[in-house]
Amino acid sequence: MSLVEILLCIFLPPVAVAIKKGVGLDLLINIICCFFFWIGGVIHAFWVLNQK
């Protein structure tokens, strides 16, 4: 994971997920997580970006 990806995960989690996975279910889940609880979106973004 690069420094840019880490910063995106912290400050703009949906953008980080969209860049890595594209528009799909992961992005929708991340947007919902960010809407209800921002830290949940950050955790989900790190989880998605760390998957192989």
Contact 5, 16 (CB under 8 A): yes
What φ, ψ does residue 12 adopt, rounded to 5°? -140, 70
Give percent of the chain above pLDDT 70.
98
Domain that holds residue 21: 3-50
Yes or no: say if 15 and 6 are a contact pair by the CB < 8 Å rule: no
Q: Domains in the chain: how many in total? A: 1
pLDDT digits (tens, 9 = 90+) for 21-40: 999 999 999 999 999 989 99
Q: Are residues 30 and 44 in contact, defined by beta-carbon separation less than 8 angstroms?
A: yes
The model's pTM is 0.87
What pLDDT, on the 0 to 100 scale, is given for residue 1? 77
